[in-house]
Structures are given as structure tokens and as C-alpha cells.
Amino acid sequence: MNRERFIALIRTEQKSLRRFLLALCCGNRDEADDIAQDALVKAYLAIDKHEDQGKDTAWLYRIAYNTFLDTSRSRRTLHPIETLNEQPDSSFAADRDFRYQPLYMALEQLPPKERSAILLYYIKGYSVHEIADIVDATEDAIKQQLSRGRNKLKTLLKDE
């Protein structure tokens, strides 16, 4: 991959990647932004090693996902979900945050692998095969993570 192609990839995927990381971080914007920055630096440093032109987005998401896992392992603490007491950007943002808070709280209780499978499948729209490539797992493992994640979310969100 050359520098120009990397810049084009980041321009098209930056917002989407940040939303993915925000969901993985259960709404913690600061943590998601830190991970996004680290992931983009890692990706930039690895552009010479990436040659599969058809899978640029999956390559970027794999780096972001692995950076998230590395960060989670190193911190080994759960961060509380952002509260609505912080200054929202707009009333729409506050409404959106409030509406999704039960989902963020439920996602926070899922193991990282199940959480990422759910987010990549339902939020990002990736196929099971694509998710398996991104997280370096088998398709059967992804199907199992999706099934377990769905069942846990149903239980957690049942009262909502």
C-alpha cells in the first residue's frame, strides 16, 4: 500500500472506524479516540507490509480491533460508561446517548470477542467470513460468538 492509498482509506473510513471503536469501548469517547489514534499510527507504520488491495478496510479494522484488545489487556479495568452529565455537543447527541445507554451498558458486560462480533456484524454489516478475517478466527467461532452475544444481550436487555 502506498501513502496516497492509505490517506484515501483513512478519509473514507475514519468516522466509521471511530464509531466502531466507540461501541467497543461502550461509549467511552476518550478511550475510543486514544485507541483510534494508536491504531492509525500502527497502520501507517505498517503500510509497506500491506499488499492485499482488495482488503484495505478489513486490514484497518483488524489493526483497530487488535489495538483495542491490547489496550483492554493492559488496563484490565472496566471503565464506566460516559455519563450524560458531561456537556453534550447538542441536544440531539444527548438524546442519542440516552437512547443507547442501555445498549452500551449491556455491551460492556459482554466479553470483548462477543462484543466485537456483534458490532462488526450488526453495526458495520460485515459477513461472518469478513469478521473471521478481521479478528483472525474461524467462521464457526464467529457464529458461536454471535449466538452467545445475542443470547446475553437478550437477557440483559429484557427488562429495558
Q: What is the pLDDT of residues 48-57, one digit of tens each?
A: 888 777 788 9
At 75 the pLDDT is 66
Q: Cα(84)–Cα(91) distance, rounded to whole angstroms?
A: 11
At 23 the pLDDT is 85
Predicted TM-score of the model (pTM): 0.67
Q: What is the pLDDT of residues 112-121, one digit of tens each?
A: 899 999 989 9
Instruction: Give the domain range for residue 128.
Output: 3-157
The answer to whether the CB of 128 falls within 8 A of the CB of 136 is: no
The answer to whether the CB of 149 falls within 8 A of the CB of 114 is: yes
In 13-141, the DSSP E strands lie at none
- Domains contained in the chain, number: 1
Low pLDDT (below 70) residues in the chain: 75-100, 159-160
Residue 137 corresponds to which amino acid?
Answer: A
Domain of 116, CATH number, reads 1.20.140.160
How far CA 39 is from CA of 17, 33, 42, 138, 144, in Å, comes to 10, 10, 5, 23, 27
Residue in 75, 92, 6, 94 with CA at minimum distance from that of residue 34: 75
